[in-house]
Chains A and B, each alone.
Chain A
Amino acid sequence: MDALQKLMFNFFPLLFLFPLAGLLLNVANGRFWHKPIAGIIASSAAGLSFVVAILQWVALLRQPDGTVIILGTWLQVGTLNVPFAFQVDTLSVTMMLVVTGIGTLIHLYAIGYMYGDPGVTRFFVYLNLFLVAMLLLVSAANYPLLFVGWEGVGLCSYLLIGFWFDRGEGGTGNANAGRKAFVVNRVGDLGLILAMGLLFWQLGTLTFDDVFAQATAVFPVGSPLIVAITLLLLLGAAGKSAQIPLFIWLPDAMAGPTPVSALIHAATMVTAGIYLIARSHVLFALAPVSQTAVSLIGASTALLAATIATAQFDIKRVLAYSTISQLGFMVAAIGMGAYVAGIFHLITHAFFKALLFLAAGSVIHGLEHGGHSDPVTLQDMGQMGGLRQRMPITFAVYLVGALALAGIPPLAGFFSKDEILAAAWQANRAVYIMLTLAAFATAFYMGRQVWLVFMGEARSETAVSAHESPPIMTIPLLILAALAIVGGGLNLPGVHTLGHWLGHTLGHGELLSFNATVALTATLLALLAVGLAYWLYGRHPLGAAATDPLTQRLGPLFVLFNQGWWVNEMVEWGIKRPFCHLSTVLAHSDEAIFAWAERQLVHTVQRGTAVLRRTQTGQLNWNVAGIIVGLLLIWLLLRFS
């Protein structure tokens, strides 16, 4: 390690300190300052953090094997040693660049989007806090530290989904959405905790390098324990990255402000699960069963969510299901061992999905500030139409994002999606077919969305009075659009810049050759899907009160898609209700009997004798019976153990 590199690594703590300082400044002085200042402080903090990430990248360019930076001791107990240690290698630096880079753009955009909102300072505090947690997650060098970041981003997500907690269905809809996200994520966290417990139990360490070094020696390939560990990790990843069956929280999470949807629920936090699996690739390599499970879950999520997205009317819900679907692509990729393809898609997806969300936000913002502001119809694509003339920049960038997502060459999405499809072609044909179908649906629903929102005639007063957003919002959009166009250059077939770069961490060897058949099929299918969308929505633009032509074409299937395959309801009836019932029943057996007896007393007996009588009504008897049963239980356990 040369001196210059060392110097640059010395700047590493600043990566966290900048956003931390930003949020502290905003907490301390937020209420005294003029509101936009909070946004400027937060954005500068994010921008400076991005500069630090670039420094780390430059340092790695000189010597790409990476290093571990230890900042201090956190837990040192017996055999367990968990330092504040950070992994700076090509994988984590890539993630840092994405998080801080896209994060900065979204911070800037949010200055405009949140302008005039009374809670704007609180918003930027949460946003900076999220950056700190997310950076902790991607740079931690051991599982416990990663877990702290993991919980931290979950907390921020919860706070930001419920940011407008007084809005939404019945005044608490948004708050409920936040809670749903939190609870569902806790299910995933359970998997991560248990996996950590098993790892520590078997290996006695939780530091990445040691775990991976020892795992190959301790666990034979396919041993039940490593399968259990990796499946538990998969459960954790499925929670964070919204995979079957834990994806139900993400569509509801769209209740948060749109910059949040772009940053947390599209570009960064939801990719934490992909990062977790990619980081633990050594473990997954030992468990082929789990790998197959990962790729199947990813592929089926991709297909399921894509079908749902075709039948949504809320502009943000389409994008939310699309995110779930694209995350499914990434999960499927890393499940097949195509880590570079997965991370590559993660990066390009961050570009174009952040772009799409922000552009959708721009649409909502343009409608909202046109004088009509009913939040329900603001996001209803049925009420839009003809925004092309009124919001030209937004239209242009949206078109770029949509084409990139649909996988039309030479935009970014084409290259990354093509790599995943090529990998699937080699590894697993079932996965390949599911993903191809999902890609077809993707191109279709994006075409549908563009025509519904931007083409044809305005279908409501709100849409007529819409206008373009201010430059502070459109400039980040243009930058992201540029990235979405050229992003594919990161890993061109045959050149494999990203492949070589990540190879230093994930192992070399995964340099897929360009598969012309796959690429051609995918492109043709995408064009076909766009044509189909034109045929349905473009030839005869929708009138003001017309129903979606898809309703008739698909019939009951449309309802199935529109309702999201009723997964929400299944969880509600299959898990949540029974659990609540169990809880109530348990509580009843514990106290309801006595509550009833108490009520009787209150009505009939004078207070003076109440106490004496109460000893006769069964309450104490019941308690004593509990003690006796406990004694018997202990006695039996002692005798027969």
Chain B
Amino acid sequence: MEFVTPTINILIVLPVLLVAGGGALLMLLELFMAEERVKQWAPTLAIIVLALAFLQTIGLWGQTHTTFTPEGSSPMVILDNFATFLNVIFLLTGFFTVLISVNYLPRVGLNRSEYYMLMLFSLSGMMLMGMANDLILVFLALEVLSIPLYILAGLSRPRPESEESAMKYFFLGAFSSAIFVFGIALTYGATGSTALPAVLAGVSNGGALALAGVAMMLVGFGFKVAAAPFHMWTPDVYEGAPTVVTAFMSVGAKVGGFAAMLRVFVSAFGSLGQTWVPAVAVIAAITLIIGNVVAIVQPNIKRMLAYSSIAHAGYILMAVAASVNSPDGVSAALFYMFAYLFTNLGAFAIAIAAERKLGEGVMLDDYKGLAKRSPLLALAMAYFMLSLTGIPPTGGFSGKFFVFRATLEAGLVWLAVVGVITSVVSGYYYLRVVYLMYMYDGEGELHTKPALLTAVALTVLATLVLGLLPGAWYEITKQAALQGLQVLAGG
């Protein structure tokens, strides 16, 4: 037997390597430096690593590459505009997470360099989700994304809420991963390969076995993106995890799940499109209804945002369902996630500023009178709430607009109606926050440090830009969808 080196172009995976390497570097630093110094430098180092990865990612825009191509077989990794755009989302998520964590972690007594390490590892997993061209790699990326999150959720152990959060996330995550792997195995059984191009070629002849694979993989993705009825972990995990971690996973894990879901379902299972569209559409509708209706009675901002994030998964699922019959589905999903990134992280940034101690100051009642205590932050929060509701001129409105349009184009009129009605319902609980902030008096100090304020300012700005000039940005997501999201055979 001869060893044949696969074709490797390391520059393609360089952003991922930088991010994962940054995590490893942090770990090594602890060997040589005092723990306190490492803690001091960890956020800066994380920002540098993210910035380098960002530059490399931007440099790759517009190009399509594959790498790790073994002799006579499909490449493992593919980097097209789709993956590049998602990498930008992930890196920005990491960037904002660092900004909101810098002062929060010491304040609540969780300042540990492992936090940044695990965050970077998780980020590298997310980035791979969009780049994977093989189901095996999809699964590994999913685990690299998830395992650090399980640990981060339990970071404030021995707080019972945090422990519960980590345990629950871990058990259910493992369970859904098992179903996901089972799905991969069945797909392999039906098509004889795990490489996405081969799956694409074989899946339509795969019969019921392939369908079972599709169903099980949909469950795995549905769990990651918190779609109903796989959502039940979300409120408990979001509530128990430290708020910065909640912020990180509410965007990162969700977008990561959708990244791989779009690649696998729209490309590799594309030929089964007409079969899985009804399933995804029904899941989307259930998700929209449960997320938006149950959010109304939540007294805790983190639980409220958890149900809200479930609801937003529903809107993105609408776009996924639309992507088979409408050319705008994928780009609408990408745009929605891009807008969601800024709006949601911004809202969480303010929730973090309002959190007094670990787990205190997170009730909605704590937002009473915020407008008097800090008019600008309250204004920003109100703006994020408007954006989450989908009122113009905000990025959230533009995102909803594109998603609904794509859904209508795809002929899923009933789903669009469900989406519009539930988004009207959502106004009730989002605006309640605005109402509490402006119409009541209350007290409690706000922790506003420059880093956090920078994050808020940038996210407000981005949400505003996406709200006022969505056209130009939509063109970019359009390019990402058209010159990307393929599965490439190689050799």
- A residues near B (Cβ < 8 Å) are 73-78, 80, 147-148, 151, 155, 162, 165-166, 172, 175, 179, 182-183, 186-187, 189-190, 193-194, 197, 200-201, 580, 582-584, 586-587, 590-591, 607, 610-611, 614-615, 619-620, 622-624, 626-627, 629-631, 633-635, 637-639, 641
| Contact assessment for A190 and B424 in the assembled complex, using a CB-CB cutoff below 8 Å | yes
5 nearest interchain CB pairs? Answer: A637-B279, A175-B439, A641-B278, A630-B229, A626-B229
Q: How far is the CA of A528 from the CA of B275 in the complex (A)?
A: 72
Q: Which of B256-282 contact A (CB under 8 A)?
A: 274-279, 282
Q: Decide if A614 touches B408 in the complex (CB within 8 Å).
A: no
A629 and B229 form a contact (CB under 8 A): yes
Residue contact A630 to B424, C-beta cutoff 8 Å: no
Whether A165 pairs with B439 at a CB distance below 8 angstroms is yes
Q: Chain A's nearest CB lies how many Å from the CB of B165?
A: 10
Cβ–Cβ < 8 Å partners of A73 in chain B: 471
B294 adjacent to chain A (CB < 8 Å): yes
Name the residue on B nearest A76 (C-beta): B471
**Contact assessment for A197 and B420 in the assembled complex, using a CB-CB cutoff below 8 Å:** yes
* A77-B290 in contact given A200-B408, A641-B274 (Cβ < 8 Å): no
Q: Does B108 contact A (CB under 8 A)?
A: no
On whether A583 and B296 interact (CB within 8 A), knowing A627-B175, A633-B282, the answer reads yes
A630 touches B392 (CB 8 A): no
Residue picked from B222, B391, B398, most chain A C-beta under 10 Å? B391
Output the least CB separation between B301 and chain A (Å).
Answer: 16
CB interface residues, B 230-250, toward A, < 8 Å: 230-233, 235
Stretch in B11-19, B32-40, B213-221 touching the partner: B213-221
A177 to B: closest C-beta gap in Å: 11
Instruction: Decide: B172 and A627 in contact? CB cutoff 8 A.
Output: yes
A641 and chain B: residue at smallest CB distance: B278
> Nearest residue in A to B183 (C-beta to C-beta)?
A631
Nearest A residue to B281, CB-CB: A637
Q: In the complex, what distance in Å separates the CA atom of A631 from the CA atom of B163?
A: 28
User: A80 to B404, alpha carbons, bound, how many Å?
Assistant: 13
Q: Mark B408-437, 1 if CB is under 8 A from A, else 0.
A: 100001001100110010011001000100
In the complex, chain B residues whose CB is within 8 Å of the CB of A586 = 290, 293-294
Residues in A with CB closer than 8 Å to B424 are 186-187, 189-190
Q: List 5 A-B contacts (CB under 8 A).
A: A172-B439, A190-B420, A580-B296, A624-B172, A627-B176
Is there an interface contact between A634 and B168, defined as CB atoms closer than 8 Å? Answer: no
Answer whether residue B338 sits at the interface, using C-beta atoms and an 8 A cutoff.
Answer: no
Chain A residues contacting B393 (CB-CB under 8 Å) are 148
Does B29 count as interface, using CB distance less than 8 angstroms? no
| CB-CB nearest in chain A for B406 | A78
- B31 proximal to A (CB < 8 A): no
How far apart are the CA atoms of A292 and B253 in the complex, in Å? 53
Residues of chain A with a CB closer than 8 A to B229's CB:
626-627, 629-630, 633
Instruction: Note all chain A residues with C-beta closer than 8 A to B167.
Output: 611, 614-615
B interface, CB within 8 angstroms of A: 158, 160, 163-164, 167-168, 171-172, 175-176, 179, 208, 211-212, 214-216, 218-219, 222-223, 228-233, 235, 274-279, 282-283, 290, 293-294, 296-298, 327-328, 391-393, 398, 401-402, 404-405, 408, 413, 416-417, 420-421, 424, 427-428, 431, 435, 438-440, 468-471, 474-475, 478
Q: Which of B176, B405, B439, B474 interacts with A162 by CB under 8 Å?
A: B439
Q: Which of A623, A630, A634, A638 contacts B233 (CB 8 A)?
A: A623
Are the CB atoms of A148 and B294 closer together than 8 Å? no
B367 to chain A, nearest CB (A): 14
Q: Are B163 and A611 in contact (CB under 8 A)?
A: yes
Complex Cα spacing A190 to B423, Å: 10
Residues on A with beta carbons closer than 8 Å to the beta carbon of B211: 635, 638-639
Mostly, the B contact residues are helix
**Least CB distance, A224 to chain B, in whole angstroms:** 14
In the complex, are the beta carbons of B214 and A583 less than 8 A apart? no
Residue of B nearest to A631 (CB): B219
The secondary-structure label for the interface of chain A is: helix
Given known A-B contacts A623-B172, A638-B214, A638-B275, A77 and B471 have beta carbons under 8 A apart: yes
- Whether the pair B404, A197 counts as a contact (CB closer than 8 A) is yes
A582 touches B235 (CB 8 A): no
A172: chain B residues at CB < 8 Å are 439-440
Query: Are A637 and B290 closer than 8 Å at their CB atoms?
Result: no
CA distance A172 to B435 in the complex (A): 11
Residue contact A631 to B215, C-beta cutoff 8 Å: yes
How distant is the Cα of A607 from the Cα of B162 in the complex, in angstroms? 12
Of all chain A residues, the one with the shortest Cβ separation from B391 is A151
Since A619-B168, A641-B276 are in contact, a sample of 9 more A-B pairs with Cβ atoms closer than 8 Å, ordered by chain A residue number, is A182-B427, A197-B416, A197-B420, A587-B297, A590-B294, A591-B294, A634-B215, A635-B212, A639-B208
- List, in ascending order, chain A residues with CB within 8 A of B469's CB: 74
Contact A634/B283 with A590-B294, A614-B164 known, Cβ cut-off 8 Å: yes
In the complex, A560→B400 CA distance in Å?
44
Q: For residue B269, give the distance in angstroms from its CB to the closest CB of chain A.
A: 11
Taking a contact as CB atoms under 8 Å apart, the answer to whether B416 and A641 are in contact is: no
Question: Known: A80-B405, A186-B427, A586-B290. Is A630-B222 also a contact (CB below 8 A)?
Answer: yes
Smallest CB gap from A182: residue in B: B431
Q: How far does the alpha carbon of A200 sit from the alpha carbon of B231 in the complex, in Å?
A: 34
A165-B438, A590-B290, A631-B216 in contact; A74/B471 too (CB < 8 A)? yes
Smallest beta-carbon distance A587→chain B, Å: 5
Q: Is the CB of A175 within 8 A of B435?
A: yes
The distance in angstroms between the C-alpha atoms of A633 and B281, with both chains bound, is 12
- Across the interface, which residues of A come within 8 angstroms of B404, CB to CB? 197
- Inter-subunit contact B408/A197 (CB<8 Å): yes
Name which of B228, B229, B427 has the most chain A CB atoms within 10 A of its CB. B229
Question: What is the CA–CA distance of A623 and B279 in the complex, to the nearest angstrom?
Answer: 20
When distances are taken between beta carbons in the complex, the residues of chain A under 8 Å from B163 are 610-611
Q: How many angstroms between the C-alpha atoms of A630 and B219 in the bound complex?
A: 7
Cα distance, A630 to B229, chains bound together (Å): 6
Q: Could you say which residues of chain B place their CB within 8 Å of the CB of A77? A: 328, 402, 405, 470-471, 474-475, 478
State in angstroms the CA–CA spacing of A629 and B230 once bound together.
9
Inter-subunit contact A623/B168 (CB<8 Å):
yes
Residues in B whose Cβ lies below 8 Å from that of A155: 391
* Beta-carbon contact of B471 and A638 below 8 Å: no
Most buried by B among A73, A75, A190, A200: A75
B391 / chain A contacts, CB cutoff of 8 Å: 151, 155
Contacts of B215 in A (CB 8 A): 631, 634-635, 638
Instruction: Let me know if B219 and A591 touch, CB within 8 A.
Output: no
Tell whether, in the assembled complex, residue B420 and residue A194 are in contact, meaning their CB atoms are under 8 Å apart: yes
Contacts of A187 in B (CB 8 A): 424
Q: Which of A179, A626, A631 touches B232 (beta carbons < 8 Å)?
A: A626
Partner of A193, one of B231, B328, B420: B420
Contact B283 A630 (CB under 8 A): yes
Contact A75 B470 (CB under 8 A): yes
Q: Is the CB–CB distance between A622 and B232 below 8 Å?
A: yes
A600 to chain B: closest CB distance in Å?
Answer: 14
A591 CA to B299 CA in the complex, in Å?
13
Q: Roughly how many angstroms separate A619 CA and B237 CA in the complex, as a whole number?
A: 13
A615 CB contacts on chain B under 8 angstroms = 167, 171
Interface centre among A147, A197, A629 (most CB of B within 10 A): A197
In the assembled complex, the CB of A74 is this many whole angstroms from the nearest CB of chain B, namely: 7
Our pick among A147, A179, A580, A634 for the contact of B279 (Cβ within 8 Å) is A634
* Cβ-neighbour of B218 out of A151, A166, A634 (below 8 A): A634
Least distance between A366 CB and chain B CB atoms (Å)? 29
Contact B278 A637 (CB under 8 A): yes
The interface residues of chain A lying within 8 Å CB-to-CB of B298 are 587
Taking CB as reference atom, which chain B residue is nearest A622? B232
Out of A76, A607, A627, which one reaches B223, CB within 8 Å? A627
- Interfacial chain B residues near A629, Cβ < 8 Å: 229
CB distance from A235 to the nearest CB of B (A): 12
A87 to chain B, nearest CB (A): 19
Say yes or no: A591 contacts B235, CB within 8 Å: yes
Chain B residues with Cβ below 8 Å from A622 are 232
Minimum C-beta distance from B313 to chain A (A): 13
Would A179 and B435 count as touching, CB distance under 8 A? yes
